[in-house]
Structure 1
């Protein structure tokens, strides 16, 4: 017979991929605390992995690219129905649409405890395209109405985003929490000894979704610049396009890069740690981030970093200490920073060691989930007193 008093938390995101790759440690931790964890997302290939972990999953009807008002209202209605049926103790939303529509659904269904994670500003606020500019004031209005509600606690991943929302009065400061990143698995991502398969030439790695906003155009141009200069290195790109994101790189562009040969397109990497282990430098010239997981993973494995001087990347990279920060959309300075590291193995080693120390100190995923769980307690979802326990 079902225990009516058992706590239940719904984790809601726009993809199963996001829940699996970024929030699985949180789901495991909550389950260890005796909480029923239900995962809510549209279907994708990662749903079966979530179910294989033993979690119940509910399909969400959500179109990431849609701006059709009727479609969006149907999504809100679907979330309201899910919350009304499930009667959760709390709901935790990730990604913009889930934050906006899920919080409305929580209010309509009478769900009393809501955590909204702002994991980055996303395409709407980064892009300068006309569609994004039209939507920005609408999204700001919705954020102001939704994130200032008394039942809501808002979690940010970096201080830049938090301050941007505070300056626009989109949040209530005393109902806001800073938890930097979703953390990194320090056992999975740890330095490895030299391997006989280590490539003869240095390897520069870009590993992320294939989006313009990730700085992929600038990365490819930097590879061209360095190859023209005669720099001996392999420039890898690991990842696939994201059709649900308007910033996704087109197949036409990818095919042109394949023919050109300046970069190696590896496609989807099931175990990105194996690619990081064989790399010399890891690069992410993004336009803006929450806190980029690939930089944390690479730093945890003792690799030097080159990233852009933007929110999110600044949380991970200390210039001159564990990597370099370069101006956004500047392929030439990006190439210069990569070249400095490729020519100085001792500097790479020193920066890699410093990066590992920083991640150990600040970004352990188990620390992140414990801090997140304490947010639930603040809004009245009391967990086990043994908050130090973690799932092995």
Structure 2
């Protein structure tokens, strides 16, 4: 009988990081999944053919709700008796590691996908750092999604444990056969919104402040004044609870004639195909999976010079790195790729080859299974 491997995330959207990889892990383990309830949890369970467990968890600090979530996770682990509890995302990391520790689960893996305390200040920053430190302390093994994340954990003295990186980093690699321009159809978008000769910048992700959404809208609307042929294609949901965008930004996204807001899309490949340049001015990332996806689709990437992203994108080779929170530098980078076709072509050519060499999914999955098998026996 295979040992049970319980995979926990705060919200089911994060389970996309493990899509497909679960099938490889199933060759050695009996996989079960726990996350907050929702259609995406149900869909993940069906697609991956694994048992799912609904455990409501809130991203933000909520003492009463967190205690209830902890109790439910404790009861779930007590019932399922997994040999491995694997938790990622900050809230699930802490609650998962604590409930597994209390149940004396022998292998407790905390996989750090990003550091929520980055970008915060004062008491909130100190508190979030404490939570990260406790999650690592309660874990038997700590993994980080990127070398930059590992370095930050060490520099901030979050843990003294050995932090492991799988292959070249990332959580799930990239399926370069699927993320391939030649194998992707065009999206169903009204052609009247994209006149002939349009140049399309694009973004995929949550529409929130710390993803750089405000700066992106500011830079684009300024550039549009001198380049009326440009368009901005936005894929993602607004979030009103955690760091919402400004009222001005929201209004422009919904009303500016050159901004094409398409909301959340389960399949982003057709939209990536339509873009000329992918823009991702986030303040913080664990790695930046969507950056990999865009580069695999041969799109030059403009992204912040931050942890994770600056490992995927090589400045001047496969994209352009800019300081976070700088509308001026973002505008300059966007303008340079519109006005320098030779640079645009060079970055496009290099982007996909760089991803194939370092982050091909099947190779990453093989390394992941080997890493987990090594510590579970």
Instruction: Call closer, same or farther: CA 1:339–1:175 in 2, change over 3 Å.
Output: closer
* Structure 2 SS opposite 1:367: helix
Residue 231 of structure 1: how far off its partner (Å): 4.9
Partner of 1:364: 360
Does 2:123 correspond to 1:126?
Answer: no
CA contact (8 A) 1:39 1:55 kept: yes
Does 2:306 correspond to 1:327?
Answer: no
CA contact (8 A) 2:147 2:165 kept: no
Residue 322 of structure 1: how far off its partner (Å): 0.8
CA contact (8 A) 1:241 1:250 kept: no
RMSD (CA atoms) = 2.3
Does 2:253 correspond to 1:249?
Answer: no
Does 2:67 correspond to 1:73?
Answer: yes
Q: Aligned runs of 1:30-45 on 2, under 5 Å?
A: 30-31=25-26, 33-45=27-39
Distance 1:344 1:175 in 2: 42
Describe the superposition over 1:4-62 as per-residue Cα deviations: whole angstroms up to 9, x where unpaired. Answer: x321111100111211x21112212112x142111100112212211322111001121
Deviates more, 1:189-198 or 1:34-43: 189-198
Distance 1:369 1:250 in 2: 40
CA contact (8 A) 2:197 2:229 kept: no
Residue 159 of structure 1: how far off its partner (Å): 2.0
Distance 2:174 2:28 in 1: 23
CA contact (8 A) 1:214 1:286 kept: yes
For structure 1, the residue ranges without an aligned partner over 5 or more in a row are 383-392
CA contact (8 A) 1:212 1:249 kept: yes
Distance 1:220 1:60 in 2: 36
2:40 to 13, 36, 46: 46
CA contact (8 A) 2:94 2:134 kept: no
Partner of 1:306: 302
1:18 to 14, 18, 29: 14
Partner of 1:346: 342
Residue 206 of structure 1: how far off its partner (Å): 0.9
Partner of 2:147: 159
Describe the superposition over 1:214-239 as per-residue Cα deviations: whole angstroms up to 9, x where unpaired. Answer: 11111101111111223521111111
2:292 to 292, 296, 312: 296
Instruction: Call closer, same or farther: CA 1:194–1:362 in 2, change over 3 Å.
Output: closer
Describe the superposition over 1:256-283 as per-residue Cα deviations: whole angstroms up to 9, x where unpaired. Answer: 4322435221212232110111110000
Partner of 2:230: 233
* Structure 1 SS opposite 2:127: helix
* Structure 2 SS opposite 1:125: coil
TM-score (ref. length: structure 2): 0.90
* Structure 2 SS opposite 1:203: strand
Deviates more, 1:164-173 or 1:291-300: 164-173
Distance 1:15 1:208 in 2: 15
Partner of 2:177: 187
Distance 2:142 2:93 in 1: 10
Distance 2:142 2:228 in 1: 46
CA contact (8 A) 1:280 1:342 kept: no
Distance 1:253 1:350 in 2: 32
1:89 to 71, 77, 83: 83
Does 2:255 correspond to 1:259?
Answer: yes
* Structure 2 SS opposite 1:111: coil
Does 2:162 correspond to 1:174?
Answer: yes
How many pairs were matched up? 367
CA contact (8 A) 2:10 2:57 kept: yes
CA contact (8 A) 1:42 1:60 kept: yes
* Structure 1 SS opposite 2:53: strand
Partner of 1:57: 52
* Structure 2 SS opposite 1:9: strand
